[in-house]
Amino acid sequence: MKTMTFEVDGDGVALISIDVPGRPMNVITPEFTADLTEAVEAVAGDETIRGAIITSAKPGSFIAGADLKDLVTAFDKGMTEAEAAEFAGELSRLFRRLETCGKPFVAAMNGLALGGGLELCLACHHRVLSNHPKAIVGLPEVSVGLLPGAGGTQRLPRLIGIPKALPLLLQGKQIKPDAALAVGVVDAVGAPESLVDMARVWLMDAPTAEQPWDRKGFQVPGGAGPLAPHALETFSAGNALVSGMTQGNYPAPPAIMSCVYEGTQVSIDKGLGIEVKYFGKLLAGSVARNMIRTLFINKGAADKLAGRPKDVPKSRVAKLGVLGAGMMGAGIAHVSAKAGMEVVLLDSTLDQAEKGKQGIAKLQEKALAKGKTTRDKVVELLERITATDDYALLEGCDLVIEAVFEDRGIKADVTAKAEAVIPESATFGSNTSTLPITGLATASKRPKQFIGIHFFSPVEKMPLVEVILGEQTDDATLARTLDYIGQIRKTPIVVHDFPGFYTSRVFGSFTQEGQRMLMDGIEPALIENAAKMAGFPVGPLAVSDEVTLSLQQSIYKQQDVDGLDDKYRGTLARPVVDKMVDELKRPGRRQGGGFYDYPENGQKRLWPGLREAFPPAAEQPDVEELKLRFLYRMAVETARCVEEGVITSPIDADIGSILGIGYPAWTGGTLSFIDTVGVREFVATCKRLAERWGPRFEPPQELQARVEREEGYYQAMKAA
């Protein structure tokens, strides 16, 4: 066996210890499945074997689930739903054989057990879980557009009841040992070093080798089907809730609901057949491919700094300088101190710097109240942050990040003052969202060591960092910047210097499209709802209020000064912004109101005056047309960024669009969306939209050339 060891002791207890080679955590691979099949048959066919214990040889980890790299190729290979179901059925049948072979199996779960790993445990007749702090169990398949395909939707409801099982299945919740024991997912919790002994004690006590659901007269705890006491809440209300959450864009949650509803009313074997059928439909679809590829495989590679220049030695930031103690600067200081760095938080006055540090302290107190940290850790973190107005304290910094106001003059001033103090080897990063890095670098004496490091707000929660290369930025500076981003556990993408870079430019196309719709006479509520129905987390008018219309106006004014080409500016929707700020005095949420009202004791609501300011047309467009406008507008802008060399990797484009600017996850990102639609159909739809709504939808020449070659973005990347 290549992925596990098999030993039998003198009492006839078999110990199956999983250790998939070359992997930090065990994952389910074809080799694993073959080895486990052999092990199960060895236990079943040997009369001298009393039963078996399944555990892991990897400390702190049982099985992390299936190898997603094996699943992501199904759609691209053109796998049919039936073929995908058969693919999943192999593991499902193996687990069923394990639980019905007549010998008891115990799962000694010495750590993390997720997805197929937990499904294996559910097929075992007894489960003991480590109380290690990092131990968790869960069925997170829904987060990659799938459902548990090896019995999870059938065994879990039969074990703990449908009302308890559905949240774990629909939300992909991962729970800690005490919660797993309380809800009934495991039978016992113990110290890691005691798990095998605990499992052995159970086996030696002549336990049954029959699952509850295989016994005559078994009923699902709490009932199943339309007559169950909980049916109205779990199925009727639950389906409505799922429909509202997914808007028809994510097929996995409704498929999970169907599996549970249909499968728990029939025998376990028929239920497993139902589950495999639904799994096959999801695996063969584009949504699972898109989500797996972008959010797990490609994001995982980015987190491991796959794009880092290989010939530059690894580095670590021990001391960081942050210029500007506002919300953004304080956020950068916070995550950096949390990662163990000494941080100098500098502002123009000591009071402002201290205010930034006090904001960090408040966030830490909230984390303490929720049990997410300890008092000692809070004290240690705050001691690592020095609030000051004295540039001399930047001496010895490995990296300095300026997060001051978006004004060239201010940024040039702080750059010069910092470089007068910091070591010649230090890297200087600008947290700008729109100002070209090459231009800002003219204020630096070391333009090769000058780079853009664009964080997203709030820094503590947003996972993405956009790295912008100036014309003179060298590889060593890029490598050191990526090393820093790895230290603070963020996900980096790398783009090239251009007005608006990548994320701000594409995000601007979303807000501007929503504002333009107001000018087109479209009802404000229809605008917001169409965006949400397409899968965006927030409507364009609401998000405009959050970033503030006054900031958007200031960017437009800066573009006037720069003489920026109209195609990189929001001129199409600028009349809306100017009217809201200058005439209606509604510049955004922070100033009391924008497109929305924000009552002190109530929910935000669209400002009633919008209909008077931007009168709706008598005839409103179909919501599907508005959804297309949002999805296609951002995707075609990304295609322009590719044509102009702003972004060179579809991986970075997709990760950035989902993690940074809220493009719907079901698409896989802006370029995955184009590939999924197909370049020919996408271009045809763009031309139709351009004819009706304007030239901003015109596909760029580089994209149109792909139609002739019948080549999508990921196809081109594989061919390169």
Q: Is 431 in contact with 480 (CB distance < 8 Å)?
A: no
Nearest 5 degrees, angle CA 452-CA 458-CA 464? Answer: 50
Q: What is the DSSP letter of 54?
A: E
Going from the C-alpha of 300 to that of each of 29, 304, 367, 532, 674, the distances in angstroms are 18, 6, 27, 27, 22
d(CA 571, CA 534): 25
Rg (CA), the chain: 28
Alpha helices in 488-622 (DSSP H): 503-519, 524-534, 540-547, 549-562, 574-578, 610-613
| Residue among 49, 268, 48, 47 at smallest CA distance from 150 | 268
Helix (H) or strand (E) holding 254: helix 252-263
Q: How far does Cα 403 stand from its chain's mean position?
A: 25
Clarify whether 496 is annotated catalytic. no
Helix axis angle for 623-643 and 503-519, nearest 10°, is 150
Q: Is the dihedral of CA 122, 184, 216, 43 positive or negative?
A: positive
Q: Compute the CA torsion angle 412, 416, 417, 418 (nearest 10 deg).
A: 100
Q: Is 676 in contact with 665 (CB distance < 8 Å)?
A: no
Q: How far does Cα 279 stand from its chain's mean position?
A: 22
d(CA 423, CA 321): 12
| Residue among 97, 107, 91 at smallest CA distance from 15 | 107
Classified as helix, coil or strand, 377 is helix
Nearest 5 degrees, angle CA 268-CA 273-CA 278? Answer: 125
Query: Choosing from 125, 126, 132, 454, which is the catalytic residue?
Result: 454
Plot region of 588 (φ>0 → left; ψ -120 to 50 → alpha; else → beta): left
| Six-digit token string for 670 | 């802006």
| Six-digit token string for 529 | 């709802």
d(CA 549, CA 108): 57
d(CA 175, CA 188): 15
Residue 103's Cβ-side half-sphere holds a number of Cα atoms within 13 Å equal to 23
- Where in the sequence numbering do the catalytic residues fall? 454
